[in-house]
Amino acid sequence: MNVLGIETSCDETAVSVVGPEGVVSDIIHSQAIHNEYGRVVPELASRAHAERVVVAVRAALAEAGLERPDAVAATAGPGLVGAVLVGLSHGRALAAGWGVPFVAVNHLEAHLLAPLLDSPAPEYPFLSLVVSGGHTTLYLARAMGDYEVLAQTIDDAAGEAYDKVARMLGLGYPGGPAIDRLAAQGNPRAVAFPRPRVKELRASKRRGQLIQRSPLDMSFSGLKTAVRQHVARPDRARTEDVAASFQAALVDVLLSRIEKAVKKTGVSRVAIGGGVAANSELRSRLLALQGVTAHIPPRSRCTDNGAMIAHCGRLRLLAGQRDPLDVTARSGWIPGEP
Ligand code: KG4
Ligand code: ZN
């Protein structure tokens, strides 16, 4: 079964065909229009998706040598609802016109399962850290559709912290790749940025309310503030040293949660996905982690892509699942929930 997957939840218009042998075509258009704003502007994203999606679908089918796929999958959330709607509506219309099954895909589940596209694929159960611009969650994946949240950020997502710190350093959007490059030339020990500890997190308050958290939960807003305060100082470190020190702190937090989750669950297969999983330091330090089998997708399958949507949709279709053509876009959607 060849499945066409459409992704438009943020600032990539991405379309791909995945078949029994894996990825047969992979088209991706990253919207440059947001660079000057230092963030994704939702309205501009929706418009740019609307301009591109038809062309991207044609290109993906042509690259795959197909006139039509056997089924269509599209991201239905979570994401910017207006942006999601563009790809979702187009996907539903294509499925209706071609008379093929349609499946609505959860963007986070697609990131979570993207490592299964590689060989060797992780066997269930495995841990999967999804680190993107909007989410930072460590899952225990027991089977397709059966995911337990072991840890998550209580404030900013890791990618959001990268993007905001990049803005402070005048590096533009998206910030992750720029900081990644710059950090390679800096000293990660130049500035001692905070790595919030479990106890401090457990007592954290949100909107005045004390909240119960998992001891594995993470927080990145204090790190972001510490960078802001540091760069305002007259004796601030060089930009590359700030980038390297920020990155070291953030990756330390992610890796410490992975190590704790491995101990807690006894599961040593660890996958990563989402844009921040393209980060050089996270990738190399995860690979070097003792007692862990790391499953690290190629960078192009960590950042948003159509192949992960087609792949996730294909798995759901093979499991006999499909969705009605009036399925709607969702801004929030926990993976594994109907
Ligand atoms: O998964 P993704 O492409 O889109 C969302 O679903 O959010 O993730 C985008 C995020 C951005 O915050 C971007 O700065 C970050 O991933 N990112 C990186 C790297 N490449 C992208 N962060 C750190 N290092 C990178 N190399
Ligand atoms: Zn994503």
Work out the end-to-end distance of the chain between its first and last CA atoms, rounded to an integer number of angstroms: 23
Per-residue pLDDT, 177: 97
DSSP state of 293: E
The average pLDDT across 271-298 equals: 98
Q: Kindly state if the Cβ of 333 falls inside 6 Å of ligand 1.
A: no
Tell whether the model's pLDDT for residue 39 goes beyond 90. no
pLDDT at residue 237, as a whole number: 98
255-260's contacts with Cβ under 8 Å and 24+ in sequence apart are 255/282, 255/285, 255/286, 255/289, 256/195, 257/129, 257/138, 257/151, 257/216, 257/218, 258/127, 258/129, 258/138, 258/286, 258/289, 258/292, 259/289, 260/215, 260/216
Which among 162, 254, 286 is the best mutation to test ligand 1's pocket, defined by most ligand atoms within 8 Å of the CB?
Answer: 162
Give the distance (Å) from ligand 2 centre to CA of residue 99.
Answer: 29
Residue 132 in contact with ligand 1 by CB distance below 6 A: yes
Name 221's Cβ contacts closer than 8 Å, sequence gap at least 6.
155, 156, 161
In the chain, the percentage of residues whose pLDDT exceeds 70 is: 95
**Average pLDDT in the 196-211 region?**
62
- Nearest residue (CA) to ligand 1, atom 21: 275
Q: Whose CA is nearest to atom 8 of ligand 1?
A: 275
> pLDDT value at position 199?
64
Give CA angle at 90 (89, 94), nearest 5°: 120
Examine the pLDDT at 75 and tell me if it is beyond 90: yes
Q: What percent of the chain has pLDDT over 90?
A: 91
